[in-house]
Amino acid sequence: MKDYLKLSIEMHKKFNGKLEIKSKVPLENRDDLSTVYSPGVAGPCLEISKDKKNAFKLTSAKKTIGIISDGTAVLGLGNIGPDAAIPVMEGKALLFKKFAGLDAFPIVLNAKSTDEIVNAVKAIAPSFGGINLEDISAPNAFEVEDRLKKELDIPVFHDDQHGTAIVVLAGLINALKVVNKGKEAKIVVNGAGAAGIAVVKLLHKYGFKDIIVCDSKGIISNERGDLNNSKKEILSYSNKNNLSGNLLQAMKGSDIFVGVSKGDLLKKEHIKAMNKKPIVFALANPRAELAPELAQEYNIEVFATGRSDYPNQINNVLAFPGIFKGAIEAKAKNISEKMLIEAAKALSNLVKFPTASKIIPGPFESDIASIIAEAVKKAV
């Protein structure tokens, strides 16, 4: 197996990062200079000063995404700081351009509080047509997104939450077809951070009724006195029998496991506790909750990871480019739950005949971003 961590370090050294800025227009002579800069540039400035909507026609800003992170929850690496988050944000910008044709700019913030993050993003918001929040730890991530959605008039989307949730839902729609089960399936979600909470919310909105959520201390139930507000909120529609205990107890009689937690967590006894034809989405990165090599040995019917070097990759790249493409083309001011569900359904429909090894399209198949964008625009 290739050492992708080493290969990535070598690539970043060779190219000194992944991004550069290129001009769309010529700059070869005095006429060009006088047009792109002074005195000609005063023309579009005056047009925008008369009506801010002209910025959509006359600048690239309103079709550019700001990728914002404070570096507190980077991949599965945790709070490694804003400087260490830059390679991920640069990669995100590359994906926006490749899959949706959108320019995006990575911005990492040396911020210590939600107020600092919110104020910084509000201050730079005129430069962008949308804000993609990335790798901000829970519960700050929830407050930051909620406040920015209320206070800005451009789409704000926390990809770790909603991008993950969209692709998980799309994958489960097709995985359930493979095992011939439906919305009555019992689901265990392990991990109650930003991604886990968003997954649970979207699965509930789609119509799943039997969901149990676990965090590092076990099952989230009404018996616990240590729950934050986001965990208390999901109890209104999860753990209907108020079960208490550890992950193994949660998994008894379950049909689906969704892990957004930590690597090498699952053991054989966890899988044996599940119903026949279990579905396991082990999404922790870079090490999954269960090594993919063990899926067949443990008789897992449908197995997915977040990794690009295995089948059934549940990866945000399948969702966020199309979400923003659709939202910006529709000039939407926010991204609704209806848009998220329609995006998931459109994504699942791209696999016409799901199999155990093919429940989700690969990122280089079809024109996924455009198809999701059309679903989003219809939802708008």
The rounded distance, in Å, linking the Cα atoms of 220 and 234 is: 9
The rounded distance, in Å, linking the Cα atoms of 172 and 279 is: 8
Taking each continuous run of H as one helix and of E as one strand, the counts in the chain are: 15, 10
The rounded distance, in Å, linking the Cα atoms of 96 and 118 is: 23
Catalytic residues: 37, 92
Q: Are 68 and 117 in contact (CB under 8 A)?
A: yes
Q: Which long-range contacts (CB under 8 A, 24 or more apart) does 153-156 make?
A: 153/333, 154/125, 154/128, 154/129, 154/130, 154/333, 155/129, 155/130, 155/131, 155/324, 155/327, 155/328, 155/332, 155/333, 155/334, 155/335, 156/130, 156/131, 156/334, 156/335
The rounded distance, in Å, linking the Cα atoms of 325 and 344 is: 15
Identify which of 107, 104, 63 has the alpha carbon closest to the alpha carbon of residue 85. 107
Rounded to a whole number of angstroms, the distance between the first and last alpha carbons of the chain is 44
